[in-house]
Structure 1
Amino acid sequence: MSPLLQNSLIVTLILGFALMEYTSRRYRTKVAANASANDTKLELLMFLSLVAIAQPVALLGSNALCTWLMPAQRGAWEGLPWWAAVGVFLVADDMTQYWWHRISHTPLLWPLHRAHHSAKYMSIRVTYRNNFFYYLLMPGLWMAGVLIFLGLGKVYTGYIVVKIAVILGAHCAWAWDEPLYRIKALQPIMWVVERTISTPATHWAHHALTNDDGVGHYKGNFGNLLFFWDVLFGSAHITRRYPAAVGLHDDRLFGDEHWADQMFYPLAQSTREHSALRPGARQYEPPAGAGASQA
């Protein structure tokens, strides 16, 4: 797949999911009704910084390191069958992202991922809403650069389109899986699908405000392309239901963090009470039963 075709497909996916959010009226009732100017700045600037800075630095940086450390290996895996190359990407990129995501819910790395959970809505807008350094340090991006150096670049162009389609769909305000669960003939197929890839039902549960309703599961459902990693590593929670609310409990109590603090921590730090965006600050611990989605 050529880079032009790849980028055209990615733009088409973004526009397609955006259209479904709009025509289903989910954008107006769920997103626009809850999003602030602070949210818009964070999401727009993070997307631009990912595309223009973090991803190129990781891919080009890994290429430069490989050229320096193992120049003779350039293109060494070019003859690998496509299905084997996809398998390599699933492990080196998607599985490592699962673990990166999972450890980002620990106190040490939570400040780099917190922005992704501070949105009070689900939407394709949220897909790349994270701290700038979250992506710059993501192992999967650097591993993808190594695999491209080894000759798997053509497979990567197709692989990344499929991955983006799944993760956009998992965040989309229009829950594409919801009507499919109601079709009896599709029940066996959906049983396989929801254990294979991330879906709105499983991923929205990860963004839930609370676990108290039995739907939310912010301590699991970490998968990006493959939900199978959650099944394999014991962090899966499947209900075929959707949380009533998403976001962070401390934001509702103390107000939203400024977009710059969320995006550039630790270079920018919060002055808010009970903030995780200050070195050494104690993270807010809600009272029992409050069900806050804290790391």
Structure 2
Amino acid sequence: MEFLNDIANVFNGNMLINVILVPFLMCAIVYAVYKKRDAFGRDAVQNTAATLLVGCMNFGVAWLFYKDINAFAQSAYDALRIPTLPETLWTSAPLWLVCIIGIVAKDFVDYWNHRLMHTRWAWPTHAAHHSDTHVNAFTAYRIHFFEAVLMSLSYILLLTWMQIPHAIPVVVMLSSIHNMYVHMDLDYDHGRLKYLIASPVFHRWHHADVPEAHGKNIANVMPLWDVLFGTYYYPGICREKMGALESGIEDKNPLLIYIYPIQEWTRLVRAKFGGAPREVEPAQSAPLQN
């Protein structure tokens, strides 16, 4: 199974393949095979362009603060002083099994991080991802730098604590491909497996800009977490509008998308401590606010 690591290293290390080629092919499949012509329509192109520009901004910020982020992660891990699992625990386990365990563990942590981001004060960090009004495979990469850091640090720390860092490349690759898949405009719900593997229908409701779906279907890979913790929502095929325009965030202006967290936190602070009226309630966060 070492070939999995080789493939993962190529996938994770090549931005052209990871961020552009694979999601483009997924969109092409939706267009050509499923006859959804809006997959390459004007709205799709504009939203995808904004997504890629937000991604470029993330890479720029990461390049500027890469050393600081790594230093912070290492100091945080050292400060925890939590004993790790024994390295010998996974010695005889095949890589595919270790990767499955890694995906399940990562998804459990991601669920709670994701749920946190649907609370009032954390929502501005996550709003960029929900700003896309034409959800497709590229939407998987419409995330703000703040969110990317939190999600990445948490699962890297977890998998390192579990003593399976060798599985991280494969876990990241499979999670990334699945993440692109669930954002595709497909009417797949996975039937009897729908609680074990998230489907496009399941995740599309998460992006639906309707109050009853806000803060629902939080899990990235395993909807079972939503079933267990009360955030599962599945009324059928989703035909609702996508995005988060009701939250006051733009869908096609990458600069406004990127500065939204600062603007929103400033407004929330003023509303809480300055007595200023709250003009716009972050709609997506309402059901899970603290």
TM-score higher than 0.5:
yes
What SS does structure 1 have at the residue aligned with 2:111? helix
For residue 112 of structure 1, report the CA deviation from its aligned partner: 0.7
Which residue of structure 1 aligns with residue 166 of structure 2? Answer: 154
Contact 1:76 1:150 in 2 (8 A): no
CA RMSD of aligned residues (A): 3.9
Match of 1:242 in 2: 238
Runs of 5+ unmatched residues, structure 2:
32-36, 272-277
The one-letter amino acid of 2:7's match is L
Deviation for aligned residue 1:118? 1.2
State the 1:165 CA deviation.
1.8
- How far the C-alpha of 1:117 sits from its partner, in A, is 1.0
Measured in 2, the distance between the counterparts of 1:77 and 1:144 equals 18
1:63: Cα distance to partner?
Answer: 5.2
> How far apart are 1:44 and its partner, in Å?
3.4
Aligned to 2:216: 220
Q: TM-score, normalised by structure 1?
A: 0.70
More helix by share: 2
Distance 2:175 2:66 in 1: 15
User: Who is 2:254 aligned against?
Assistant: 259
The answer to whether the 8 Å contact 1:124/1:168 transfers is yes
Paired residue secondary structure (1:278): helix
Identity percentage of aligned residues: 22
TM-score (norm 2): 0.71
1:202 matched residue in structure 2: 202
CA 1:258–1:150 in 2, change beyond 3 Å: closer, same or farther?
Answer: same
Structure 1 position 170, deviation (Å): 0.8
Contact 1:31 1:121 in 2 (8 A): yes
With 57-66 and 154-163 compared, the bigger mean Cα shift is at 57-66
- Unaligned 5+ residue runs, structure 1? 182-189, 287-291
d(CA) in 1 for partners of 2:118 and 2:64? 24
Superposed, 1:65-80 pairs within 5 Å as: 66=77, 69=81, 75=87, 77-79=89-91
What pairs up with 1:121-136 in 2 under 5 angstroms? 121-136=134-149
Q: Which amino acid aligns with 1:193?
A: L
8 A Cα contact 2:51 2:141, kept in partner: no
Q: Offset of 1:127 from its aligned partner?
A: 0.9
Separation in structure 2 between the aligned mates of residue 227 and residue 131 of structure 1, nearest angstrom: 24
Q: How does 1:103-114 map to 2 (within 5 A)?
A: 103-114=116-127
Aligned with 2:128 (options 115, 138, 155) = 115
Alignment-mate amino acid for residue 102 of structure 1: R
- Is 254-263 or 87-96 further displaced after alignment? 254-263
Q: Which amino acid aligns with 2:205?
A: A
| Equivalent in the alignment of 1:18 | 24
The yes-or-no answer on 1:191 pairing with 2:191 is yes
Say if 1:64 and 1:108 are closer, same or farther in 2 by CA, change over 3 A. closer
Deviates more, 1:276-285 or 1:66-75: 66-75
For residues 74 and 88 of structure 2, the distance between their equivalents in structure 1, rounded to whole angstroms, comes to 14
Deviation of the 1:234 alpha carbon: 1.9
